[in-house]
Each structure stands twice: as structure tokens, then as C-alpha cells.
Amino acid sequence: MHPTGAAISSFLASQFENENGFREETSIMTKRTTPIAVAVAIALGGITGLSNAASAQEQNLIFGTGGTSGSYYPIGGALKGVFEESDQVGDVQVVSTGASVANIQNIQDGLNQIAIVMSDVAYDAVEGTGQFEGNPVDLKAIAGLYPNVVQIVATGDSGITSVADLEGKRIGVGKVGSGVEQSAQKVLEAAGLTYDDMARVTHTGYADSVTEMNNGTLDAAFFTSGVPNSSITGLMQSSEVTFVPVEGDIASKLLESYPFYVNYEIPANDDAAYSIESAVQTVAIRNMLVVPGSMDEALAGELAKRFSDYLQSGSVSVSALTQFDPATMDEGLVAPVHPGAQSFYDSGSGEGAASGSGDGAASQEAESGEAATQ
């Protein structure tokens, strides 16, 4: 990276806000060079032309993820090295954010060049609805990822066994503006409920929701994430819980109203999930890897190729990325696939090209949006 580019990147990085809205200092990890190496090269002469050429070919990326306790952040960490192997990519800085909504806003503002988001939030952004009412975002997909499953968990003594039973109860709906809150609002709406029908609504993330449920100050909480969610698993070790289904008319209304929902079953007696006695019917929302529509086509295609190759490499380090079929990367997405990525899929170079088999299965821990959820 050219020294000037590093200085600019460092300045921009210092301006990012964390998921709580406070300024957050972050550091840039340089891919190839060190200040000493640059100084030596300058002393030897001839470095300027080479440095400028490298800068012209490489693009630094700021990768918006989610909270550090969710799945988005470790996925960003894993893909950092994958993308930096490309000659078209310089440094990839992975930043913890408020997840889906914040990531899309950052892409719109030019602060993120790549991010992970939930499909429901991406749909609103592309269509200019919901939190993006009248302000559509030029957002393009690089790939579809694993599904985030809407999981409503209630304390065993709350008496809650259905979504309707949430009325008059104390519930956690995820952080403000998170993908978790987005899905909570839609589920409640489909059931004919609003926040006003609750005894108390808290905008708590996964960890805080679990703490309040253990303390007896919260009756139920929404967790929109892969399965299993580590926070739920921890809660089950200390308290009796009930998984509340999202099924019947409520599920039908969601699927009819929103193209990003699919039916999903949390299996029974599955050690890879929660080992619950009875299966739970609910709905799920796919995660997506997205970029601004203005991204160079060659770079977008390169990111799609690198990601596809990584998924099929046998060395995937994050469990969530093993829980869906790479052949479905370009299928059923609510945002247009970036033309550069589409060229890669159309070429048949990877499993993500049109060979696919249906939607992928679930993933593990944390949220997406909280990662605001996630």
C-alpha cells in the first residue's frame, strides 16, 4: 500500500463509530509492507512508480460486520485473509458495527466497501421501505450466506407457548435498528401485536437478554441468528426455557408479505442444534454479502470467486460458513447480484454458478444482526 493511502485509511478508520454510537479507534493491518521496508525502498530509489502502480491495482476494503459476540465478526475475520490474497485487494479492515442497518447506511455513505447483512434489511434498503423509506440504496449482492432463524425463547415459568402469549409480557427485541428488531417487529405485526401491547420492551442484545431472563426481569426474547445460538445454549444450561413457534397464520402472513422469509424447522434430538425434545416450526431469513453498486466489476467478480473457492477449500474456519450449499450463493437473493459477481457465476467457474440445489441449512451461533443482529 502506498504510504499516503495508509495515512488516509488510518484517518478514516479513526472516524468509525461502534455499535453503541461512540467513536471507536481501530487499527489497519497492512498486507505487504512496513514503514521500515518502505523507507529502505525509497532510499534505494525507484519506489515511487512501483508504489503508484500497486495503488492503482489494489483497493483497500473496510468490511462491516456486527457485534463481536455474533457470527458476522468472525466471518469478517476469516474472509479478511481470503480477500487479501487477491492482487486486486490491498488491506481489508474488519470493523465491529451495529450490523445490518448500520452496515447498509455505511455502504451508502461510502464508509464500508463490503458488509454482511440480513435479507430483510437489504430488501428494505433496495426498495426504499421501512427504515429506508424514500431513501433507496444502490446495494448489490456478492453472495447469499447461511439463514438466520427467528428464534423466540421464553422462560419456562412465563406461560408463553405462542406468539399471541407475548401480549402483556416483558420481551427483548434486539438492539435498536438491528436485524433482530426488524424481524421481531414483523412477527408481532403478523400476529396483530405492537410494542404497546407488551408490559415492557427492552432493546437488549443477546447477552443482556439472557442475563435479564436469568434474573427474572424478562419473560421472552427474540434471537434471529443461526442455529444453535450460543447465548440460547448458555441460557438453557441455567434455566428452563420454551421455544415459541412461528407457524400457522403468522408464518403464512410473513411469507406472503415478505419475499425474504422461508419456513424453517429447528430439529428435535439434534446435538448440533439444541437437543430439544420436539421440533419447532419457525421462519428464517438469509444473510447476504453485499457491496455498493458502484464497485468495479472486476473487483466484485474477484470477491465472488475468492469466496466461492474458500467455501470449497476444506479449510473454512467459521462454522456458520459450512452450513449452506455454495451452489446456492447466487440464488433467491432479494438484492440484485453485482454484474461482476454475476459474470463469475455465469462462467460456471465455481459451485455457485447455476448448478444449485435449494436454500442452505442453518448455521451456528450468534446473530447476525446483533451482530446487532445481527
* Residues making up the chain, counted from first to last: 374
Residue 309: is its pLDDT beyond 90? yes
- List pLDDT tens digits, range 177-200: 777 898 999 999 999 999 999 999
**Beta bridge partners of residue 264, listed in sequence order:** 282
Q: How confident is the model at residue 30 (pLDDT cuts 50, 70, 90)?
A: very low
- What is the Cα–Cα distance from 234 to 197, expressed in whole angstroms? 29
Mean pLDDT, the chain, as a whole number? 83
Nearest to 90 by CA among 71, 66, 62: 62
What's the farthest any 2 CA atoms get from each other in the chain?
Answer: 75
Q: What is the pLDDT of residue 319?
A: 85
Q: How far is CA 170 from the centre of its chain?
A: 27
Q: What is the pLDDT of residue 70?
A: 77
SS3 for 265-321 is EECCCCCCCCCCCCCEEEEEEEEEEEEECCCCHHHHHHHHHHHHHHHCCCCCCCHHH
Q: What is the pLDDT of residue 56?
A: 52
- What is the Cα–Cα distance from 313 to 330, expressed in whole angstroms? 19
Over residues 92-118, mean pLDDT: 95
- Grid cell digits, residue 118: 440480513
Q: Which residues of 43-79 are buried (b: 16+ CB within 10 A; e: fewer)?
A: eeeebeeebeebbeebbbbbbbbbbebbbbbbbbbbb
- What is the Cα–Cα distance from 66 to 372, expressed in whole angstroms? 6
- List pLDDT tens digits, range 151-165: 999 999 999 999 999
pTM of the model: 0.71
- Grid cell digits, residue 149: 432463524
Kindly list the structural domains of the chain, giving each domain's residue range(s) and its CATH number in brackets, ordered by start: 3-145+287-347 (3.40.190.10), 148-286 (3.40.190.10)
Residue 253: is its pLDDT beyond 70? yes
